[in-house]
Structure 1
Amino acid sequence: MATQLSSSGKAKLWSNPDLRKRLMFLLSALIVFRIGAHVPVPGVDAAALAKLYQNVAGSGILGMLNMFSGGSLERFSIFAIGIMPYISASIIMQLAGEIVPSLKALKKEGEAGRKIITKYTRIGTVFLAAAQSFGVASFIYHQNVVITSQFEFFVSTVTCLVGGTMFLMWLGEQITERGIGNGISLLISAGIVAGIPSGIVQLIALVSQNAINPLVVIGLVLGVLLLTYAVVFIESALRKVPIQYAKRQVIIQAQNTHMPFKLNMAGVIPPIFASSIIMFPGMFAGWFGGSNPTGLLNKIAGWLQHGQPIYIALFAATIIFFCYFYTALTFSPKEMSENLKKSGAFIPSIRPGEYTARYLEKVVLRLTLFGALYITIVCLIPELLTSTLGIPFYLGGTSLLILVVITMDFKTQIASYQMTQQYEYLIKKSDA
């Protein structure tokens, strides 16, 4: 029966006018995103910039930023800094929401408070985008690829890059509201997917030039497939906590009621946050380090390059921290315990109230530990392989994790939307 419903849902994917409209809007928004990634910032010699990127930034911190922006940094387009300033502003606001009393109060005001926090996040995005745009402009200007005056170049670059980031922020919000799925996540995924063909072309070129062993490439492909399978398997893993209802115990037991908890409750947020946090110190140190190779800033930039022990240690520690932090933000054992008590539900052998909250907290902490270790391993394996095999372009587990998790989430949201539409249709039919 479930298989028949699933097949029927797939067959009617495009027959639902509202769902078709949302999918078409999503496709149109992604096309606009890819068009904008090819609109260059004025005042730069494109050929000299492409050569500079290959020599300087292909496999370092800027390579990761280029991956998140869908190749926009390499072309120095209006979307060169991508959506990362918005993500960084969101991190700051979420951290501040746990520390600043006024922001804590706003979070408790519901929709009105959320709108105010969103406004603060947007303002923070503008400032972070302006600072990052100025850093990008300073780096590009000192590479002898600018063909206009310094003042004109800085003004046009900062204006274009900040405007591009704000447009992407708006576009992501529109996708979330009028499309399917989380708009910001889908934009990041689209940027990652856009870089896959160029990576394949580079691998083929390296093999044809005998710069890399074909067996290494085959092993790399098999490793990616195996890692993808592992991510899908673990992301589908659930810890089922059984619950019973005092008034409907016989009926509910027959239905085997439980609360499902994912092993990775934080999703792709920790690696994205960790990448964003680590990216900026190394990026700015490299931009403002000057030409002195023994200077402190250049040393910091070198320490924070992919494959370096300090970078790997900081990346792992930051991922684990954000796994616990984001899980604590999104899940409250005390609130869950109160909701169970109000609905007349309880966990077998666990007393309601405070004992239930402690039990749920213990379960979540254990799951978060294993989930954090899993995300860290997935993100670090490609980093270690890239540095060991000497692959001259960015290959990160973060991008693989984002692609797989967001694809699974996108599929789930489409199925949920179809199910909601079916329920609404049945309700209307029964009322009629």
Structure 2
Amino acid sequence: MGIEEIFANLPEVTKPIRRLSLKEKLIWTLVVLVFYFILSLLPLYGLSPQYSAQFETLSILLAASFGSIITLGIGPIVTGSIMLQLLVGADIIKIDTQTSEGRKKYQGLQKFFSIFFIVFENAAYVISGALPPATSGPFFVTLLIIQLIIGGLVLMLLDEVSSKWGIGSGISLFIAGGVSRSMFVGALSPAISPINRMPIGALPRIIAEISIGNSAGALFPFMSIIATIIVFLMAIYFSGVQINIPLSFGRVRGFGIKWPIKWFYTSVMPVILTSALMASLQFWSVMVFRWTEHKTTWFAGLMKSVFGEFTRQATADGGYTLRPISGVANLIQHPTIPQIMELGLSSGALLSILFYASFMIIGSVLFAVLWLNVGKSSPSDVADQILSSGLGIPGFRRDKRILEKILARYIIPLTVLGGFTIGILATVADVLGALSRGTGILLAVMVLYQFYENIQKSHMEEMSPMVRKVMG
């Protein structure tokens, strides 16, 4: 069987045979989102109730729901896509994506890689003990793996449905949906926290605190709501800030376009990469703690002092989570302002906030600069795109060196400022105790803004004059 036959037999969602209206796309998008939420609520049959729920940051970035059949979320799909891009970029796999045949082969390989990593990562996750079965033995281990693989494959197909029939990428939709759900739960959930015996949701807690005469206690959840609104509005504002560079066609006089360079030039990638780095440090801190927990050697003590020690806290679903109490892990797990107001400010809490803020802001700036070349968006890359389109800046020769120098005046400063701004917004949201992680709120805003731009670009003519005026 040839590689083309293998690709032909892979599961695939067919494209619509006609142009879909905005209403139809919105319906399909809603259907995909509902199915995603259903998958996130389906618990793994045979999973031990004593599993450890960890890595909240990664779960937001990967649209994952720990303990469900999409425990790894979009992680395997994204990993497969990144691996293929690296192999193609390094010319290990040679594909000409400029041709229709090459694009078809690339899409087939992308799906093959996604399926491979769905199987591999879910199997590795269960076998490593991260998701322990309720009863030991190969049967329940295999059962958990099969459920996770099914969840991953369904998620992959839902991504295709959203991309072909909806208003945008399914992966982006799942991330926005997961963040929105966490914000909804954080705002409205009446479930009782096992820690303080108060509702988890901000609004129910405000009502509960006021009903018992504790108006000071109602201030903390109120601050969370205000912090979320402020960060959300600031992210929307900066998403729309851009500099337009006028361009003209060399052979067509009097006709030109504007090339936008956004304030968030590298989008939300800097804060994603910084958060992922923090999550990796948290992951290795947990691994080191598990390895050194019952050891008394000098080396084990050194590892504990550097990476940190943890204490176990019960969760509402019967499991437990590890909370850091020292080391690097504790510095990353910063307290929020409401927690400080409730428990008091200590030197350790202040150090943790300063470390977290510095790490997030500096990391976002560094990753923003790094992403210029990795994401093919450097002044040189943009100059190539402009020149290959037959465009140029009025009043200047169509020379790459001149164009690159002009673009660098805008792209480099906006890259640094954008990384700095997005790092501050994420830090403010996290430290003020917003309803979701700062990274998650920024991701949701970016995704929703992309959907808004897609609708504005493709379906403005279908809208009523009033809606068209609102959409800009």
Corresponding residue number in structure 2 for 1:429: none
How far is the alpha carbon of 1:231 from its aligned partner?
Answer: 0.9
Q: 1:258 to 1:372 in 2, by over 3 A?
A: same
CA distance in structure 2 between the partners assigned to 1:327 and 1:113 by the alignment: 28
Does the residue aligned with 1:64 lie in a helix, a strand or coil?
helix
1:290-345 deviation per Cα after TM superposition (whole angstroms, max 9, x unaligned): 27547537963742443257666655555445434444324364465456556664
Matching residue of 1:198: 185
Aligned equivalents of 2:125 and 2:175: distance in 1?
18
Instruction: Specify the SS of the correspondent of 1:72.
Output: coil
CA contact (8 A) 2:70 2:148 kept: yes
Check if 1:413 corresponds to 2:413. no
> What are the superposed Cα offsets for residues 369-425 of structure 1, whole Å, 9 maximum, x if unpaired?
111112211222223334xxxx9xx73111111111211211221222214879xxx
Residues in 1 aligned to 2:112 and 2:231: alpha-carbon distance in whole angstroms? 38
1:101 aligns with 2:101: no
Secondary structure of 1:259's counterpart equals strand
Structure-2 separation of matches of 1:168 and 1:313: 36
- Closer, same or farther in 2 for the Cα pair 1:187/1:177, shift >3 Å? same
Residue matched to 2:78: 87
- Alignment deviations for residues 60-100 of structure 1 (CA, whole Å, 9 cap, x no partner): x5333454566731xx11112211233344445445555x3
Q: Count matched residues.
A: 378
Partner of 2:290: 290
Residue in structure 2 matching 1:331, options 374, 377, 387 = 377
Give the one of 428, 431, 435 matched to 1:381: 428
Give the Cα separation in 2 of the matches to 1:121 and 1:246: 43
How many Å separate the matches in 2 of 1:173 and 1:317?
Answer: 36
Contact 1:286 1:297 in 2 (8 A): no
1:132 aligns with one of 125, 138, 162: 125
Query: For 2:453 and 2:226, how far apart are their aligned partners in 1?
Result: 27
State the 1:237 CA deviation: 0.7
Q: TM-score, normalised by structure 2?
A: 0.68
Show the counterpart of 2:399: 353
Shift of 1:247: 4.8
For the residue of structure 2 that corresponds to 1:416, the secondary structure is helix
Contact 2:428 2:438 in 1 (8 A): yes
Are 2:156 and 1:160 equivalent residues in the alignment? Answer: no
Q: Note closer, same or farther for the CA distance 1:107–1:246 as it changes in structure 2 (3 Å cut).
A: closer
Runs of 5+ unmatched residues, structure 1 = 1-15, 423-432
Q: CA deviation at 1:103?
A: 4.5
Question: Structure 1 vs Structure 2: percent identity of aligned residues?
Answer: 20
8 Å CA contact 1:340–1:346 kept in 2: the answer is: yes
* Cα contact 1:39–1:77 (8 A) shared by 2: yes
Equivalent runs, 1:158-237 vs 2, <5 Å: 158-200=145-187, 201=189, 202=200, 203-204=202-203, 206-207=205-206, 208=208, 213-237=217-241
CA deviation map 1:150-204 (0-9, x unaligned): 4333222233223322321232122112211111010111111122232123134
CA contact (8 A) 2:95 2:106 kept: no
Q: Find out whether 1:266 has 2:258 as its counterpart.
A: no
- Give TM-score scaled by structure 1 length: 0.73
C-alpha contact 1:69 1:82 (8 A) present in aligned 2: yes
The alpha-carbon deviation at position 366 of structure 1 amounts to: 2.0
Higher helix share: 1
Closer, same or farther in 2 for the Cα pair 1:340/1:26, shift >3 Å? closer
> What is the DSSP-based 3-state SS (H/G/I as helix, E as strand, rest coil) of the residue aligned with 2:28?
helix
In structure 1, C-alpha distance between the alignment counterparts of 2:138 and 2:304, rounded to whole Å: 25
What corresponds to 2:69 in structure 1?
78
Q: How does 1:276-315 map to 2 (within 5 A)?
A: 276-280=276-280, 282-283=282-283, 285-286=285-286, 289-290=289-290, 292-293=292-293, 295=300, 296=303, 300=307, 302=324, 303-304=328-329, 305-307=332-334, 308=352, 315=360
Contact 2:123–2:145 at 8 Å: present in 1 too? yes
Say if 2:437 is the partner of 1:396.
Answer: yes
SS class of match (1:399): helix
The equivalent residue for 2:410 is: 363
Contact 1:185–1:406 (Cα < 8 Å) also in 2: yes
Amino acid at match of 2:447: I
Q: CA deviation at 1:214?
A: 2.3
SS of residue matched to 1:37: helix
Please say if residues 41 and 156 of structure 1, whose CA atoms lie closer than 8 Å, have aligned partners that are also in contact.
no
Instruction: Classify 1:314/1:108 alpha carbon distance in 2 versus 1 (closer, same or farther; 3 Å).
Output: farther
**How has the CA–CA distance of structure 1 residues 139 and 310 changed in structure 2, closer, same or farther, with 3 Å as cutoff?**
farther
The answer on whether the counterparts of 2:40 and 2:69 sit within 8 Å (CA) in structure 1 is: yes
The letter for the 2-side match of 1:174 is V
- Cα deviation, 1:19-62, whole Å, max 9, x if unaligned, reads 333222221111111111222111236xx55xx76xxx5xxx53
Separation in structure 2 between the aligned mates of residue 126 and residue 319 of structure 1, nearest angstrom: 33
1:240 corresponds to 2:286 = no
